Amino acid sequence: MASEEELFASIDALLEEEPQLPPPAERARLREAAGITQARLAEALKLKSTQSIKNWENGRSEPTGPRLAAYQRLLKGWAAKHPAPGTTATVLAAPVPPAARQPEVPEMVTGLSDPEPEAGTSAPVQDPAALERPARPATRPASTSRRPAAKKAAAPARDPHFPHGPLVVLDGDGSAYGTGGIVLDCPATTVPELVEWTLKESGLGAAKLNRYGKDSDPLIVLTAAAAVKLGLPERLEGHEQRRSLRLPQDHPAVKQVLKAKWQLTQRGFGPWARIYRKTQGRERQCVQLAILSWDALDERSWPGVAEMEPADIASVLGVYAQRVITPRGSTAVSGLELMTALRPPTKPERDAETGNWVSSYNPGSLGTESMDPAPPEATPEHPVVVQSGWTGGFLNEEAYQWVRSVDTLSDEECLLPFAIGLDLNTAFLAASARLVVGLSAPDHFHNVKFNPKIPGSWLVDLSHIELDPRLPSPFTPDGTRPTGPAWYQTHTVAYAQELGHDVHPIEAYLRRETGAYLDPWHDRLKNAYVDTLADLGVTKDLDDRQFLAAMEQHKQIDPALAAVLAAIKATVKGGVGKLRERPQGKHYKEGERWPALERPTWRPDIRAAVISKARVNMHRKLNNMGRMTGLYPLAVLSDCVVYPSRGSSPLDFLPYATSGKPQPGGFRLGPTPGLAKLEGVQEMLWAIDLMEKGLNPARHIKGGDAVLDEGE
């Protein structure tokens, strides 16, 4: 029989085999509850960097030796002082103490996508009353909408720093509906109280998308009832465009915000309002508001969303936030903000002399300073044009708006029964993949040899190039032949070379520093688009017949997810368009600078590069289709092309090999960016009638009053 000493030894061995540390997420919670940063903890444990702490808190590795014992002792002490909430329901609705965590290095300047300077932030002060206040239970379960919510998207793992997700939709009874079915109780009755609750108790926000970036500020979406409860008008009145309307400075809600020492950005208190305080520490202190009854969610970008129940609105916006970014304005603003979030302009670097962390340029980004474009890349009202008296012409890199002359139609084409429209999926997004753009200011050159690898603007004469009259010219948006020297982006000139023609630039504005700036933006939005289509039943493994059938019904499967898909597409086009935002407001005078010019992301040359490549890609397919099938388009509008067909399906005219596989080089059906889907089918006589009237069949091929979104 074993002795007592042997039994105790066996028991001790079993105890040693048990997990000696709490789960990784609990470790992070305890550290934050204690107000200790990763950097300070690493210093206390004599670690060379914070990476080990990060690894311990996300489960990638575990401490060993003396550090294990020390870390375990520390966590036990914290656990006694900061016990975890007892139940799941309590966790979901409990106020979250503000974490005093700091980045391991100083927060750097990160470029802006707002027309005005970015709001500063400061560390929120701990509120003892908030820490001691008992958890408020959810006031009611998430409502069931008349529309199906976006439930198919996989719920992301909860970030311990932001346990309640990126956003909530606040209703008039104080219920704040979040992602994943969470319902929080918000007691705020004024806008300043709402901001304080959001920063101190809500647990809202989203982690940065790049290690050198910044976390997304929490978003509070207000229903009409919530807006009224907070002292805001149910609707904004005025004669300006709805998106331009703002509360007047003497409105009581604005006065309350300013009296509480909060600030509004230069855009003021409009449908999308940002409320912040100047930076006094390293934690951002900024809240984004979106007011539904002020048309914050544009029907074109978010079809049907504003009419949904609060819980379903939160679900839709939550999927978008998970796959794209937390909305912070229109989809165009969000698209531009996504570029900066994925390519922050600065990164931390240790000064060799002082040992301090300093802000330095992040290679591959656009940096922190705005730069003026070359005169031909600017708009006519831009100061560099007006002040220099520039008369040398401008880039005209725009999407196609072309209708074929009826005189070029053959009898055989006229006798075909159908006109079929094909639409390329997110053509601008496809064009942004592996797109090399300029990162530095333009330099001026004369009589320079053309180099297709250098992004820039080239003055060159392409008017001598003869092309098939049944196709649009690849060099102009309206498809007409150039009449003399003109400015072109690099991709357009390179395509002239690809077609076998010599090019001899007269002058050029080129950029020495280059990079694929949009690659991360492309990758994230492509994944968002493909994943959302897959949730709607349109997957990559479908054959062409199955794909066409799935596309016919995908919007009916889940209207909420279909709205997410529409928002993703609007983010692409709007983000590209925002790269050359024009002045707004009736009081603007030509030659004055406007707010957008102060952004590093005001880059009309990058916009021109995207559109030039997209138009060239379209022409290349049109050209290949003519060679492979003998068919020529009737019209092109942006990323939609209309072909005559003997049958009512794209399968009746698209080129396929004897094996049944699509022929490379032409239009192909599929769910990924750059591939095509069916836009609409009409009778051939209908299309010819429009063409004879000078109208574009591609604009109306869907039928009814449907009109395509022309590129932006």
In the chain, domain spans: 19-84, 125-329
Measured distance CA(71)–CA(38) in Å, rounded: 13
Q: How many helices and strands (H and E) does the chain possess? A: 22, 20
Crossing angle for the helix pair 544-557 and 559-578, to the nearest 10 degrees? 100
Residues paired with 187 in a beta bridge: none
Assign domain 19-84 one CATH number from 1.10.3210, 3.60.21, 1.10.260, 1.10.10.
1.10.260
E strand or H helix that includes residue 227 = helix 224-229
Residue 465 phi, psi dihedral angles, 5° rounding? -80, 120
Those residues of the chain that have pLDDT short of 70 are: 1-19, 48-49, 60, 86-158, 238-244, 280-283, 704-712
The pLDDT, as a whole number, for residue 24 is 85
**Span 27-50, pLDDT tens digits:** 988 988 888 888 888 888 888 667
| pLDDT for res 248 | 92
pLDDT for 500 equals 94
Q: What pLDDT, on the 0 to 100 scale, is given for residue 128?
A: 30
pLDDT, tens digit (0-9, with 9 covering 90-100), for 527-574: 999 999 999 999 999 999 999 999 999 999 999 999 999 999 999 999
Q: What pLDDT sits at residue 138?
A: 40
Q: What integer pLDDT is reported at residue 70 of this predicted model? A: 87
pTM above 0.85, yes or no: no
Q: How far apart are CA 267 and CA 597, in angstroms?
A: 15
Report phi then psi at 666, rounded to 5. -95, -165
Joined tokens for residue 64: 């060993």
Q: Enter the tokens of residue 703.
A: 């039928």
Whole-number pLDDT of residue 57: 86
- DSSP annotation string for 261-288: T-EE-TT-SSSEEEEE---SSSS--EEE
* Rounded Cα gap, residues 111 and 260, in angstroms: 28
Distance (Å, whole) CA 186 – CA 175: 6
pLDDT in the model for residue 139: 37
CA 323 to each of CA 138, 339, 523, 534: distance values in angstroms, whole numbers, following the listed order: 27, 14, 11, 13
Amino acid at 681: V
Residue-wise pLDDT for 692-707, tens only, equals: 999 999 999 987 654 4
